[in-house]
Amino acid sequence: MSLKTTWGNLRSMERRIVIGIAVLLFLVINIFWVWPHFSDWSATQTRLADAREKLTRWQKEVDASPKIQKLIGDLEKSGGSVSSEDQANNFARAVQSQAVQSNVSIISSSKQQLKTNEFFLELIQTFSVQSREENLVDFLYNLGEGNSLIRVRDISLRPDAAHEKIGGNIKLVASYQKKPPVKSSKSEAAKGALKSAPATEKKTAPASDKTDKKPATTKKS
C-alpha cells in the first residue's frame, strides 16, 4: 500500500493528528539541533577576519625583515652591539681613561662584582669621584656614548666644603656577551667510553669473626 493510498484512507481528524505530530517533530528538531548553531556562521566569519588580519600583519613584518637586518648591521658597525667577554677586562681601564679626559678625579674604587646568566655577564664597580659639576656631567655622558655599554646604576653626590666641587659615589655597570662554551671532541669521546664500559664488580673480603680472647687467670689462695 502506497503512502498516498494510506493518506487517502485517513479520516480528517487522523490527518490533523498526523500533521500536528509532524509539525511538533519539526519544531523539536529545529530547537535542539538547528537553532543553537545559528551563531556559528557569524563566529566563523569573525575568526576568518581575524586570521586574515593577522596574516596581513605578519606578512608585513616578513617583508620588512631585510630592512631590519640591514639596520641591525648598521647599529653593530656603529658600536651598538654587545661587546665580547674578552673586553670585560677593559672595564676599569675605560672608566679611568674617560675620567682623565673629563678631568674627573677618582679617589677610590671598590672591588668588581660579577653577575652572569646563560648569555650575558655584568661587571659592577663603585667609584668615589670628585670634580667640578660640568666635568662630571661630561664624564657620565661620554661613558654612555662609547661602545662598552657602561651605564650608571646608582649615584650619590655631595658638595665639598668650599662648594666649588662635588664628590660622591657612582656605581657603574657594564654588560658583556659571553662566549659560547667550546665542546671538546676528546672529552665527549671519553664520556661515551665511560658510559659504554661494563661496570666492574668489587669483591670484598669477609669480615673476620675472630675476637681477641684474654687467657683466664687463676687466683692463688
Instruction: Please report, in tens digits, the pLDDT of each residue of the chain (221 residues total).
Output: 566 677 667 778 887 888 888 888 888 888 888 777 777 778 888 889 999 999 998 888 888 888 888 887 776 665 545 555 556 567 878 888 888 998 999 999 888 888 877 677 788 889 999 999 899 988 888 887 756 578 888 999 888 888 888 888 999 988 777 666 655 555 555 555 555 555 444 444 444 444 444 444 444 43
Distance CA 110, CA 133 (A): 23
Domain ranges of the chain: 3-37, 83-177
Closest CA to 123 of 178, 184, 199, 167: 178
What is the SS3 assignment for 114? strand
Report the relative pairing of strands 113-116 and 83-84 from DSSP bridges: unpaired
Query: Is residue 131 within 8 Å of residue 166, measured between CB atoms?
Result: yes
User: On the CB side of 3, how many CA atoms lie within 13 Å of its CA?
Assistant: 1
* CA separation, residue 204 to residues 156, 201, 208, 211 (Å): 68, 10, 12, 20
* Radius of gyration of the chain measured on its C-alpha atoms: 43
pTM, 2 dp: 0.44
C-alpha cell at 169: 659615589
Report the relative pairing of strands 83-84 and 105-109 from DSSP bridges: unpaired
Q: Which fold has domain 83-177?
A: Alpha-Beta Plaits (3.30.70)
Closest CA to 28 of 39, 18, 36: 36
